[in-house]
Amino acid sequence: MGVRLMVVDDHRLLAEALASALKLRGHRVLAAAAPSAGAADLVISRAPEVCLLGTASPAEPGAFDPVVRIKRERPQVAVVVLGPVPSPLGIAAAFAAGASGYVRHNERIEGVERAMMKARAGEAAVEPQLLQGAFTELLNPATQPDDEGARLLQLLTPREVEVLVRVAEGEDTRLIAAGMGIAPSTARTHVQRVLMKLGVGSRLEAAALAARTGLLDRATGGAASAPAPVSPPRPPVPGRGVPGQQGGG
């Protein structure tokens, strides 16, 4: 029985070619399109059984934000990622976002078709060796030279890290400002800088990226050892002296 599906890929020509090949094999292709801001909207509105989602950079921040949204609003849609010969980080990110499978771009059409059928049946559609590599990387993050969470954390100042943690906890601008003792306009500026540095367009995307890459765990886990922002020292009160300059009894 044919699969009701959509094909979404960075390259429209590739998406249309894959869609045509699958139509010839008896599948019902609802649409073939290039990824854009409206790609997730299209999948959500058409509600296929399977969405084939292509990406050229699976390890890039935000690459699987459409998957997160699709699975949140249409959990019954099985998403199979089409990617390059992958790094395990890319596969891990795809499954963490809610994907049902990962297929390499150079796979034969029969392999793509098998992945579609498995995903529709609720099974994980990924080659065992690729999945094993992803698990190895997740279980041994300290051995990985390219730690996305650590890299992103280095982009942020300590104050911006605090803002990101508060954003992830659902605080709005007013609560962030009150909790940090700053003006709402300053809090708003900090939030915008965090979004810009992380390369995302909304607070929700920032929170999802931070959780997916481990940035949030690093930020909260390292809070005790990270130097916290401090206010400038107050001038000594006349008549009291400066602590530490007189000997104690």
Q: Identity (one letter) of the amino acid at 174? A: R
User: In the chain, pLDDT over 90 holds for what percent of residues?
Assistant: 41
Q: How far is CA 101 from CA 53, 56, 75, in A?
A: 10, 16, 14
pLDDT digits (tens, 9 = 90+) for 77-110: 999 999 886 667 788 888 889 999 999 888 889 9
Q: Which domains does the chain have, with CATH numbers?
A: 4-139 (3.40.50.2300), 146-220 (1.10.10.10)
Asked if 88 and 134 touch (Cβ cutoff 8 Å), the reply is yes
Q: Is residue 109 within a helix (H) or strand (E), and if so which, with residue range?
A: helix 109-120
Better-scored residue on pLDDT, 76 or 206: 76
Whole-prediction pTM: 0.54
pLDDT digits (tens, 9 = 90+) for 12-69: 888 899 999 999 999 999 988 876 667 788 899 999 999 999 887 787 778 889 999 9
User: Quick one: pLDDT at residue 35?
Assistant: 67
CA 19 to chain centre: 27
Q: How far is CA 193 from CA 11, 204, 208, in A?
A: 31, 15, 17
38 in helix, strand or coil? coil
Q: How confident is the model at residue 227 (pLDDT cuts 50, 70, 90)?
A: very low
| Cα torsion through 130, 131, 133, 139, rounded to 10 | 170
> DSSP character for 202?
S
159, two tokens: 């104050």
pLDDT digits (tens, 9 = 90+) for 160-202: 999 999 998 889 999 999 999 999 999 999 999 999 888 888 8
User: Quick one: pLDDT at residue 61?
Assistant: 78
Q: How confident is the model at residue 233 (pLDDT cuts 50, 70, 90)?
A: very low
User: Quick one: pLDDT at residue 36?
Assistant: 61
Average pLDDT, the chain: 81
Long-range CB pairs of 161-167, under 8 A, 24+ apart, other chains included: 161/219, 161/226, 162/229, 163/187, 163/190, 163/191, 163/194, 164/194, 164/198, 164/206, 164/210, 164/215, 164/216, 164/219, 165/216, 165/219, 165/220, 165/223, 167/191, 167/194, 167/203, 167/206, 167/207
Half-sphere exposure (Cβ direction) of 154: Cα atoms closer than 13 Å: 6
User: Quick one: pLDDT at residue 24?
Assistant: 94
Which of 122-126, 134-138, 158-162, 165-169 shows the lowest per-residue confidence on average (mean pLDDT)? 134-138
User: Quick one: pLDDT at residue 133?
Assistant: 64
